[in-house]
Structure 1
């Protein structure tokens, strides 16, 4: 064995239990701290070998964060990469002797994966329809924080609401629905009324066309929620579903409009899909919900799966919220604050084309999003795919 390898091993043995974790936190700046590093090591230990995306899903951390931690764990000699992350012999010793890990089996239900809901045989036909309809969705507008959930997720959402008693005989309003959850709900054919509000006419036309062909009567309304709800939509609905921009201002706005849409009664349900965020940002979410005197009824992590939302590990939580006697919107009237992620936290991403040309994408650039770049193509060679991100910075 090389002398440097001996030195590295000896240094690890002499470290205090959390020194390695503390060092990785310092080097990566991970907001979740040492506990997140421990979770990552635990998942690698339990799986034996695991890819970065699966590791991000299991730990509810963004893919770039997991990738950064993985690199530091490699430098520390605790893991290596062989078709996925795997513990080295030193890594095995560390997680067993220092972290005290010994249980490898998962205790989560293998059938529902912790979502509490299954798509039974009688609902498989709805899933098949959603799989076909989802292929008709236009490319997502990332500046509107669009990221399409999987067809399975849309159906699971509808079935979860059904099980909770919030579909049969109910008037349901969807505040934004690029995921087609309204379609999955409508195909159950047990609700009284379904309304979709969205700012994207492409999504509304698709839902309207599907609704007409399926005879499920979904009302589609073009509306920017930064403007007050039309009066005819206020105090009307039993249930709200929303997957808002993943910012606190966006959350407050969409929940406020949802509260206005509900009939004034206790225990009305609001279903919220929202990203798993670092602790300080989650406190902001809790504060926003508490401010409106809303009650957390249930939180299911990793309920929603998405196509291509790697910043959120392709997954978000589903939160069931209920109104109380004191529930009130925190925002009334027109709203002028920034609500979309690209506005609240603008970033410039630099991509490299296979021809070697680099392109800046983001606010104030020729290409606002990677989707724009893929549509228009590389300015040098015209290629429309195969771009690799090499740098990211916040403005």
Structure 2
């Protein structure tokens, strides 16, 4: 089987548009690491595509999987790679900033304080597809918003906050006000408790972004930040809520988007939505900005029909790119009414339900 044939088989099985170049990225990742989750991280392809490429390679005896779930090329597989000129992926990421282009030297105290304050944070749970980012990521988000002039003296809306960005923002002393809209009662209580004890200008309220934005917060904020679910429906509604909360042109929104649960085709459709429907400019896309701490429920929430998938990750493999958007003259939010939508499950989702593929 050639690379084009593998791509066609993967596309047929997953329903995700897959090219020969996509397959080459997975092959290159496998030559660098035998660990499935590291390959998912480095290949920058949807989880379902990476898993199915490995399964095709296994079925055609180009790779083998050992008892620990590690993946190795067979002699036939090595010949396959050599004949097609596929080489190991090399990593040129700056180790100091982890590729973000943001230095934290001026925020060392915030890093330490945030870790101390949030040591008792609630665990991530599957109910809301939670998984929070590392401390360095949280503080880098604060630094990025501050660097772009979107935090100091500004009113910040945080849509969903298992990352506890609101607490970090409050501890930084920069924003005038932070309002968190969060569906998880545990987090609402936790954030409000910390804000009261520490005297932070932070308030959390119970909110499901599928419901209308509270009227008092329409057009109220200077900046919003969120970590949205990645179905196209959920992305549209979440962006619409954030933009509806902004006060006018020149305001900013920040959010992450993965390659693990969002193909480039989905990126393209989403970017068209941002530009054409919402009338905003995409000013920044910083690759792999957000690094997530591995969550406890991972292996119980994903498919178990591939042995190499049911392996505990050895690194913080789940990552997303950071987007910054800025509102233009004539920008649009969305009609402020309830908008039911599918939050978590589509063909590219990491969470698996029988029959979804």
* TM-score after normalising by structure 2: 0.80
1:352 aligns to what? none
The residue number in structure 2 matching 1:334 is 337
SS in structure 1 opposite 2:230? coil
Aligned partner of 2:39 in structure 1 is 55
1:300, distance to aligned residue in structure 2 (A): 2.1
Is 1:394 the counterpart of 2:356? The answer is yes
Note if 1:288 corresponds to 2:273.
yes
Which whole-Å CA distance do the structure 2 matches of 1:156 and 1:214 have between them? Answer: 22
1:142 and 2:126 correspond: yes
The residue aligned with 1:317 is 321
Instruction: Encode CA deviations 1:90-127: one digit per residue, 9 max, x unaligned.
Output: 434433431x345753333233232222433x433433
Report deviation, 1:347.
11
Would the alpha carbon gap of residues 75 and 161 (structure 1) be closer, same or farther in structure 2, given more than 3 Å must change? same
SS class of match (2:120)? coil
Seen in structure 2, the aligned counterparts of structure 1 residues 245 and 101 have a Cα distance that, compared at 3 Å, is: closer
2:309 is matched with: none
Aligned to 1:275: 258
Higher normalized contact order (CA 8 Å, seq sep 6+, divided by chain length): 2
C-alpha contact 1:140 1:146 (8 A) present in aligned 2:
yes
Per the TM alignment, residue 319 of structure 1 is displaced from its structure 2 partner at its CA by 0.9
Distance 1:17-1:236 versus aligned 2 partners, 3 A rule: closer
- Are 2:162 and 1:178 equivalent residues in the alignment? yes
CA distance in 1, matches of 2:194, 2:7: 51
User: Following the alignment from structure 2 to structure 1, what is the Cα–Cα distance between the partners of residues 244 and 16?
Assistant: 38
Flag structure 1 segments of 5+ consecutive residues without an equivalent: 1-14, 350-361, 363-391
Give distance in 2, aligned partners of 1:103 and 1:249. Answer: 37
Deviations 1:199-234, CA, capped at 9 Å, x for gaps: 222111111122223322212222333333233322
Verify the 8 A CA contact 2:46 2:263 in the aligned structure 1: no
CA–CA separation in structure 2 for the residues paired with 1:72 and 1:255: 37
Alignment gaps of 5+ in structure 2: 303-315
Report whether the alignment pairs 1:297 with 2:283.
yes
User: How far did residue 174 of structure 1 move?
Assistant: 0.8
Q: Match for residue 382 of structure 1?
A: none
* Distance in structure 1 (CA, Å) of the matches to 2:159 and 2:147: 21
CA 1:94 to 1:133, structure 2 compared with 1: closer, same or farther past 3 Å? farther
Mapping for residues 1-395 of structure 1, pairs under 5 Å: 18-23=4-9, 25-26=11-12, 30-45=16-31, 47=32, 49-63=33-47, 65-81=49-65, 84-98=70-84, 100-102=85-87, 105-120=90-105, 122-265=106-249, 267-276=250-259, 277-290=262-275, 291-306=277-292, 307-308=294-295, 314-329=318-333, 331-341=334-344, 392-394=354-356
Cα deviation per residue 1:14-61 (whole Å; 9 max; x = unaligned)? x6664455455556655333222110111223x2x3311111111233
After superposition, the C-alpha distances for 1:269-317 in whole angstroms (9 at most, x for unaligned) are 1001233212443233123212111111111232222233676962222
- Separation (CA, whole Å) in 2 of partners of 1:20 and 1:283: 24
SS at match of 2:107: helix
**Corresponding residue number in structure 2 for 1:383:** none
Q: For residues 336 and 219 of structure 2, what CA distance do their matches in structure 1 show? A: 16
Q: Is the 8 A contact 1:143 1:342 kept in 2?
A: no
Change (3 A) 1:74 1:221: same
